[in-house]
Structures are given as structure tokens and as C-alpha cells.
Amino acid sequence: MAINYDVLMGLKTSGQEFSYGDRETMLYALGIGFGRDPMDEKELPFVYEKNLKTVPTLATVISWGAGAIGDSGINYAMVVHGEQKLKLYKPLPVAAQIVTDSRVVGAWDKGEGKGAIIVTETNINEKKSGDKLCTLTSTIFARGDGGFGGPREGAPQPHALPEREPDMSVDAETLPGQALLYRLSGDRNPLHSDPEFAKAVGFPKPILHGLCTYGTCCRAIISKALDYDPTQITGFDVRFSAPVFPGDTITVDLWKDKGVISFRARVKDRDAVVINNGKCTLKG
């Protein structure tokens, strides 16, 4: 079934309810690499319920499964995650009951054989207070769905990195078993855990979740540029550009300007840029 543009643009869900607790908050932090040294007093608050802190990118997993494009005609076997954006209206609580509303906000046709770009938006509110917590904007690249007749122009443009050399670079290690831990936060796609499945779709072994790499970049920025204060972050946007394999060391290049930290992530061993056009927005 091909994409019908009018049907796609009308897809939405509302009032979906989820909940998470301190267990999920700590598990997520462990999954993106916090707590490797249990004696590190600056990292311990992310993985221990005493004075627990939330990582802003936790927002991407607290309503796992929410969304608006399930019945869209997309060939999901050919879909990759293209971009992820996060806007925070307040720091995430360490535990909450939440309500989500999701909708498709844009679709662009790159042409027959060239794929399609589809953008969805999910707003997350705290159920008890009604406060708006955050907005997630996710872009997928549907490689098998070009030529459906949608608009060709007007797709969102990525954040431009500064042209100067990075102000600092941070190495963030991942473990060989990283994906097996991270998947417990919601995404159990066998691409990240099953060697036979990974080989069947063209990879030599399971790859790390793109959103785990996303969270790992956030960990690097919190630890090296923000003195472990996650409440400074009000936005976190990236474009995914290449896979990471569990065990890779991710080098995060940072450019610090007023109110914004621009970044990209590389795996030096393979000379591969894995996240590009990163933008971490700071409060104030």
C-alpha cells in the first residue's frame, strides 16, 4: 500500500497515557553510559535514587510506542531514523504519569526511488499538573516510499555547525553490551540484539540504537561542558548520519556559543560521522 498524502497528514493520536518511575530514569542513564565508575560522585546522582537527576534525553523513551503513523502505508522495512529534536519546557521529573498527543506535521516526496521524509510531533504533558513537559519532533526517511505525490520543497533544514575548529572534543566510550542494556528502556528491535537478524539486513553485527548514540552525546555534553547540570538544557536536536556498533568510542566535537552548544559525533576508528548538525540549546 502506497502513501496517501492526505491520509498521512491527517494521522494523529491523543490522550495516550504512560508512566515511568525512578527505576526507568536510572536504567536509561545506565543505558547511555552514566555510572561506569560507581565512585564518581558527579555521575552517581544520575543512577542512584538519592538526589536523583534526570537526563533530558530521557524524554525520548518515557512514552515509547506513542505515535501517529502506524497505519500510513509506509514500507517500514525501508525506514531509518533521520532526525530527532527535543524541546523541554521544564526539567523532567524523576517519575511521572504522562499524557501524549501525536500528529504528522509534514511529509516531503524526494521522488521515485529516492524516498520520502516524514515528520511527526509528540507533545508530552504531566497528567497530575497538566504542565507541558516537552515536545519531541522525529523525522524518518522512508527509503522505499518516494513518488507518492507529496510536496518536493520545504523540508526542515538542519542546524548549521560553526565553520571554525571545535572548541573541545570529548571521547565517550560505549560497551560491547551497550545495546542489550539500552533496549530495556523500550526499543527491542532485534537489529540491536540479534546477530542473525542484523546480518540478514546487511550489518556484520547488531548496531547501537540511534537514540542511544543521541543520549550518549547528551551525556558527553552534561559531563564535559555543563559541569553535570542537566537542567541547563532546554533543547537537543540531531541528524543521524551513520550507525554505531556497541563497543565503539564516540568522539563528540563541541562548539560553545552563547545559549547554544553545537556538536557532531564521530567514530574515529572508521572515520565515520555518526551524528551531525547537533544543537544543544541552553536556558537563558
Q: What are phi and psi of 178, to 5 degrees?
A: -60, -45
Instruction: Return contacts of 198-202, CB within 8 angstroms, 24+ apart.
Output: none
d(C-alpha 65, C-alpha 46), whole Å:
24
d(C-alpha 216, C-alpha 214), whole Å:
5
DSSP 36: S
Helix (H, G, I), strand (E, B) or coil at 223: helix
Say which of 145, 187, 237, 248 is annotated catalytic: 187
Is 159 marked active-site?
A: no
Say which of 109, 145, 159, 192 is annotated catalytic: 192
- What is the bridge-based pairing of β-strands 249-257 and 260-267? antiparallel
Q: Taking the C-alpha atoms of 223, 186, 97 and 58 in order, what is their torsion angle to the nearest 10 degrees?
A: 10
Grid cell locating 232? 541547563
Is 209 marked active-site?
A: no
d(C-alpha 108, C-alpha 83), whole Å:
14
Grid cell locating 216? 550518549
| Alpha-carbon radius of gyration of the chain | 19
Helix (H, G, I), strand (E, B) or coil at 57: helix
Distances (CA, A) of 197 to 127, 191, 204, 206, 207: 39, 6, 10, 8, 11
List, by residue number, the catalytic residues: 187, 192
